[in-house]
Amino acid sequence: MTGASVSGAGVLRFRPSAGDYVWTFGGVPPVARVAPGTVLELFTEDCFAGRVRGVDDLVSRVVEFPFVNPQTGPFYVEGAEPGDTLAVHFVSLEPARDWAASTTVPLFGALTSTHATATLQPPLPEVVWIWQLDRERRLCRFESRFSEYTVDLPMDPMHGTVGVAPANLEARSSLVPDSHGGNMDTPEMRAGVTCYLGVNVEGALFSLGDGHARQGEGETCGVAVECAMDTVVIVDLIKGWPCPWPRLESDTHIMSTGSARPLEDAFRIAQLDLVQWLESDYGLPALDGYQLLSQAVEAPLANVVDTNYTSVAKIRKQWLPGSPAAGGVHTRLREQAAAYLASR
Amino acid sequence: MTGASVSGAGVLRFRPSAGDYVWTFGGVPPVARVAPGTVLELFTEDCFAGRVRGVDDLVSRVVEFPFVNPQTGPFYVEGAEPGDTLAVHFVSLEPARDWAASTTVPLFGALTSTHATATLQPPLPEVVWIWQLDRERRLCRFESRFSEYTVDLPMDPMHGTVGVAPANLEARSSLVPDSHGGNMDTPEMRAGVTCYLGVNVEGALFSLGDGHARQGEGETCGVAVECAMDTVVIVDLIKGWPCPWPRLESDTHIMSTGSARPLEDAFRIAQLDLVQWLESDYGLPALDGYQLLSQAVEAPLANVVDTNYTSVAKIRKQWLPGSPAAGGVHTRLREQAAAYLASR
Amino acid sequence: MTGASVSGAGVLRFRPSAGDYVWTFGGVPPVARVAPGTVLELFTEDCFAGRVRGVDDLVSRVVEFPFVNPQTGPFYVEGAEPGDTLAVHFVSLEPARDWAASTTVPLFGALTSTHATATLQPPLPEVVWIWQLDRERRLCRFESRFSEYTVDLPMDPMHGTVGVAPANLEARSSLVPDSHGGNMDTPEMRAGVTCYLGVNVEGALFSLGDGHARQGEGETCGVAVECAMDTVVIVDLIKGWPCPWPRLESDTHIMSTGSARPLEDAFRIAQLDLVQWLESDYGLPALDGYQLLSQAVEAPLANVVDTNYTSVAKIRKQWLPGSPAAGGVHTRLREQAAAYLASR
Amino acid sequence: MTGASVSGAGVLRFRPSAGDYVWTFGGVPPVARVAPGTVLELFTEDCFAGRVRGVDDLVSRVVEFPFVNPQTGPFYVEGAEPGDTLAVHFVSLEPARDWAASTTVPLFGALTSTHATATLQPPLPEVVWIWQLDRERRLCRFESRFSEYTVDLPMDPMHGTVGVAPANLEARSSLVPDSHGGNMDTPEMRAGVTCYLGVNVEGALFSLGDGHARQGEGETCGVAVECAMDTVVIVDLIKGWPCPWPRLESDTHIMSTGSARPLEDAFRIAQLDLVQWLESDYGLPALDGYQLLSQAVEAPLANVVDTNYTSVAKIRKQWLPGSPAAGGVHTRLREQAAAYLASR
């Protein structure tokens, strides 16, 4: 294994070489075995494998399918078995370069026909935008390609792709979001958040990639402000707490996700999972949870462009009955992250 | 006409009697003619026509279809012609009673089969929740029906249904959202916001109803915290500025809406309309607008339960090139509203 | 009323003048009152109102919205009340001219983006095909526009649009298919078939139009081999037999229809209606009907292009328990049609 | 390899033992290498792995996920490379037992909520139907479970699942239909038909399973008349003729398939592929093909229940310009099949 080194008790640093990346969830051997509670200091390449560096680097020319959306991992988490859940806490996400790229991709995106929403129309023009990242001031600069307009947007780093090996003996492309996680593309996957992923195979086989300096809800053109990322996560294990769809927890909210087509099915999955989570962990009867959610939920779209669309259902923890989710693992990981950051 | 009285220059007060409500957009004569700029002081009944007052008032027993979702109006706006746009500014929304109602409705809602998503399963149980409204503290109290849990949520009054007569010689049920507006059910339709509605017939024939003390994004169970509302709007007219889908403007954002099924089509409509709005009013070339939106848009769901689903595309005005939308009508109406409120 | 004349006991002949056509279901007064059992000898104009006569007659130039898809009617059927069902038996359909027209329409059709499936791509080119109809040999001649290829297809005349006034106080464009019928565009609507339409308003207000010399399943480009039609129907009334969605009966099959988006919902509606029809009229328990249907149903698509998509669920009568649908009305109308044709 | 034996020049007989079945397309090694033109005499187990044998054998009790829908194969076809296409000709399909099984499966099927179309409703009851197969008279007997009704339907054997290893380094469950084929569940996959499958990996890795004694269009309850099958296919290779989606050819028709959600996307894919096939192989310009298809296509639904829905687009060869598809491979395989059958 190239680039992996245990730099201290419970900290693993892994910076993949070109040949170390993987392009699927499932179907590939782990790059390392880690104990629950390990801090992972990772480098992730951007979704173009770093090949789009200027406005002339059209994806159709420089990227070779299926070698798109490289993932760092997978990591075998010791003791993880089907029926358990991985808790992945995002300690920090820092863009690794001072620029990022976005682009239209022929027959991909929400405002174009696609290989699935198939029409006789020609594809949209292929255009690349290079975004300048001011990492100190936490800004991303948009530069119009067809006018003089520029504007600075706040940086809000996130990972588009986070997941484990899927169930049913499958291996899925890293472009796909589904119940194993994968390419969900939700801006909620930011520092300070814990992501819960149900374990489908022994060791879970966790990997991540697809850093975005920022992204709009729905990822309209299909491509965010794509950048390489230096990311620190803590990977923990919750035994015997199944998690049917990826869930997230921040200091203020719990969130369920659903990934499916059509988009209303993604919405239904996320909303139903949240109702059922409120029932199982918070003791709120299902119909009461349905009613409370109907008035209290936020439903930010993640992506409306990928193989499956992803919807998030999000509710404030202060509005819920007392007990913390999964026995308070988020709070504990928050503290471990603070200790790690203080010691760095 | 019952209940309408012009109470001063440019102010019309209209409190409908039981027989005054209408149940469609289009197909009914106006209750009054108003000049552009008129302040309308309106009362709207709740979507149950006020018939659900306690937990035993099941919709299937007390509400008689199609007499559901009563609208106050329509108002004939002088000078309004196809190709123009109505600007409806929401000055204030105040729940008219100290309680509100919500309920499951058989075969209606996102987490049940419906008459369209038709299955062999029996409907969910019909349950009513009565919410207490603390209008002074601006709180809505949820009381669980199947446990002891209660919680206070912030009040955030909105109108679910706002629209004009549709095009194509149609009359549409007030339960339907489409390009004429109607039952869009977006929480963005709150005080301080201007709603733009393209005019389809002479006089536009504007009406509104379906007040909600608050609502989650997507309106999961299909019914919000439904309440009668005392609402003040200013109705203005923008000549020669067409508006293909309902748009909204707040002090901070401009927003497009789309209503369609499946939900991704509602998303596409709203996002495309916003790209085209950025091009026509702000001079941003379409592909640049597509890219900027992809990184900057918020996409809060309105409803995923009605005849058409409604999606909102929302962007901060501070991130856009200078010119204000529609020549600054929102700012002007904001000032008129402030003057009205000061004089009251 | 222009053009209507009772030409004998129980036969009404109606050939509309230009101003007699209607463009909606609902919202318009009847052109005639007829007793149940009346034979209607009708002329229907093509969906372009006869304005596309050559390959240079582009729809965007010669057709003025919303004056598209003209309907002949509506007819007030005496005694028809909500809860009853109209039985419309198609005695004969004869193309009224020796040519027909088809075309692409900008942003309309299955293999293009549309106003709902909205993209940034420009529309497809607008192209007209004129089909020659050989009424004696019952053939329609396709002539390629961009090559020399021609081919004769069998004529199979049908009506794309058949319906009654909708429920819920609505008026719907004649371009819309829904539970009131309307623009379903199913090739099953041919001579020899009885169409059942649930009555929503007093008198039912039946009308029809949109003749096709033939059409593929799904009506891919959105436009069939459009022609004016000389059509004879018998309109009968079934008291107290509700019909939630349009149903059809031929000598060999019974069929249910569903119209909705996405297409799977249209499929679900039609299939569920057929299961419930098998239960109510044929005594087959619902789960047994579900199983039998799963192995025996044909599911020809009608349209995948209109405001709602339309799916048909079709099962052979010989595979069903004995009793005929609706008390044998189809057989009786078949006999009345034969007698009428013999006497002509 | 168990059970495989080359029984003569160009004939391979393979009857898998219990441990020989595979449950995915991709991700498993081949059971045999075969030369193009080889006749395969195969046994396929039913989708329940033979475990549902009576009305008390509920799937939820006797079937262990993911060991459902066993496939016979995969076969490595020598010389097959990405860019080529496999031609699989169905010589004969004979049910291997005198009974077959069908069932409802909890949260699976078109007329129930599912894991994707997620609702709060409980699943439908789990019911098994055992069908008696009269192989001599080619009949399948339906026996109602909740009434006395029985009826004989014609036997029409088909394979629900036929495919090759997918692209993009993926392995997909045998329950999934996609561009690699898989669980398409189309009744068109019957004896006398040639199925074309684009090759994604070296050797193609073809397998098949999921025999149905018959099936309705759409496979409404999600389960057909499931039976073990003795099947003979000839596997041939077409070099340098890419096939983006599975295509079929019978003596009378050519057909394209599309598998996606929502169902209209499956329809679009199949229709567009057929237009493009007409252009590339028959020389019909795309817009002319679009028009011809719109009037001439049949669009029988395959399944509206699986992970992706499958739609077929089908046109009569007699209506097309002269040249046969893929250089006449179907005719040649037809002749080889006749010779094989004559010699048996």
Question: What average pLDDT is seen over chain D?
Answer: 96
pLDDT tens readout for residues A28-42: 999 999 999 999 999
Tell me what pLDDT residue A165 has: 98
- CB contact under 8 Å between C112 and A122, yes or no, is no
* CATH architecture of residue range(s) C4-238: Sandwich (2.60)
CB nearest C263 (choices: D219, D262, D290) = D262
Chain A residues with CB-CB distance to C118 below 8 A: 111
Tell me what pLDDT residue A2 has: 38
CB nearest D272 (choices: A120, A258, A287) = A120
Label residue B1 by pLDDT band (50, 70, 90).
very low
Mean pLDDT throughout D313-332?
Answer: 91
Asked whether the predicted pLDDT for residue C324 surpasses 90, the reply is: no
pLDDT tens readout for residues A224-260: 999 999 999 999 999 999 999 999 999 999 999 999 9
Question: What average pLDDT is seen over chain B?
Answer: 96
- CB contact under 8 Å between B173 and C173, yes or no, is no
Q: Tokens at residue C143, please?
A: 């002539």
Q: How far apart are the C-alpha atoms of D95 and D157, rounded to whole Å? A: 7
Q: How far apart are the C-alpha atoms of A333 and A329, rounded to whole Å? A: 6
- Fold of the CATH domain A4-97+157-238: Jelly Rolls (2.60.120)
In this structure, which CATH number among 3.40.50.300, 3.30.70.2860, 3.10.28.20, 2.40.50.140 belongs to the domain B247-318?
3.10.28.20
Q: Tell which of D264, D273, D304 to mutate to test the C interface (max C CBs under 10 Å).
A: D264
Q: How far apart are the C-alpha atoms of A172 and A176, rounded to whole Å? A: 7
- CB contact under 8 Å between C221 and D125, yes or no, is no
With residues binned 3-state (H G I as helix, E B as strand, rest as coil), the percentages for chain A, rounded to 5, are: 15, 35, 45
pLDDT tens readout for residues C150-190: 999 999 999 999 999 999 999 999 999 999 999 999 999 99
Nearest by Cα to A93 from A157, A42, A46, A41: A157
Tell me how close the Cα of C125 comes to any Cα of chain A, in angstroms: 10
Chain C residues with CB-CB distance to B66 below 8 A: 167-169
CB nearest A112 (choices: C119, C123, C262) = C119
Crossing angle of helices D263-282 and C263-282, rounded to 10°: 110
The edge-to-edge listing of strands for the beta sheet with C71-77 is C32-34, C71-77, C206-212, C158-163, C181-182, C177-178
Label residue D3 by pLDDT band (50, 70, 90).
very low
Tell me what pLDDT residue C7 has: 44
Residues paired with residue C334 on neighbouring β-strands, in sequence order: none
pLDDT cut 70: percent of chain D above it = 97
Tell me what pLDDT residue A344 has: 84
Mean pLDDT throughout D104-111?
Answer: 98
CB distance B243 to B235 below 8 Å: no
Q: Residue D166 — φ and ψ, nearest 5°?
A: -75, 170
Tell me what pLDDT residue C4 has: 46
Chains near B with 3+ CB pairs less than 8 A apart are: A, C, D
pLDDT tens readout for residues C23-66: 999 999 999 999 999 999 999 999 999 999 999 999 999 999 99
Per CB distance under 8 Å, which residues of A are interface residues toward C? 111-113, 117-124, 262
pLDDT tens readout for residues A293-305: 999 999 999 999 9
Tell me how close the Cα of C35 comes to any Cα of chain D, in angstroms: 37
Chains near C with 3+ CB pairs less than 8 A apart are: A, B, D
pLDDT cut 70: percent of chain B above it = 97
Question: What average pLDDT is seen over chain A?
Answer: 96
Asked whether the predicted pLDDT for residue D317 surpasses 70, the reply is: yes
Asked whether the predicted pLDDT for residue D2 surpasses 90, the reply is: no
Tell me what pLDDT residue B9 has: 54
Mean pLDDT throughout A77-98?
Answer: 98
pLDDT tens readout for residues B133-155: 999 999 999 999 999 999 999 99
Per CB distance under 8 Å, which residues of B are interface residues toward D? 111-113, 117-124, 262
Mean pLDDT throughout C84-88?
Answer: 98
Chain D residues with CB-CB distance to A294 below 8 A: none
Q: How far apart are the C-alpha atoms of D294 and C222, rounded to whole Å? A: 8
CB nearest C220 (choices: D104, D145, D290) = D290
Tell me what pLDDT residue C5 has: 43
Domain residue ranges of chain D, discontinuous segments joined by +:
4-100+156-238, 247-343
Tell me what pLDDT residue D9 has: 54
Superfamily name and number for A247-319+329-343: Acetamidase/Formamidase-like domains (3.10.28.20)
> CA nearest B167 in C: which residue?
C66
Query: What CATH number is given for D247-343 in this structure?
Result: 3.10.28.20
CB nearest C120 (choices: B23, B169, B290) = B290
Q: Tokens at residue B309, please?
A: 């689903």
Mean pLDDT throughout D257-265?
Answer: 98
Q: How far apart are the C-alpha atoms of B292 and B279, rounded to whole Å? A: 12
User: Which residues, at least 6 apart from A227, have a Cβ–Cβ distance to it below 8 Å?
Assistant: A46, A95, A96, A97, A99, A100, A101, A133, A211, A212, A213
Q: How far apart are the C-alpha atoms of B26 and B250, rounded to whole Å? A: 28
Mean pLDDT throughout A118-140?
Answer: 98
Q: Provide the ipTM.
A: 0.96
Asked whether the predicted pLDDT for residue B58 surpasses 80, the reply is: yes
Mean pLDDT throughout C213-222?
Answer: 98
Asked whether the predicted pLDDT for residue A277 surpasses 70, the reply is: yes
- Fold of the CATH domain D4-100+156-238: Jelly Rolls (2.60.120)
Same fold, A4-97+157-238 and A247-319+329-343: no
> CA nearest C115 in A: which residue?
A111
For the beta carbon of residue A53, count every other beta carbon within 10 angstroms: 15
Superfamily name and number for B4-96+156-238: Acetamidase/Formamidase-like domains (2.60.120.580)
> CA nearest C264 in B: which residue?
B117
Nearest by Cα to A39 from A3, A1, A5: A5
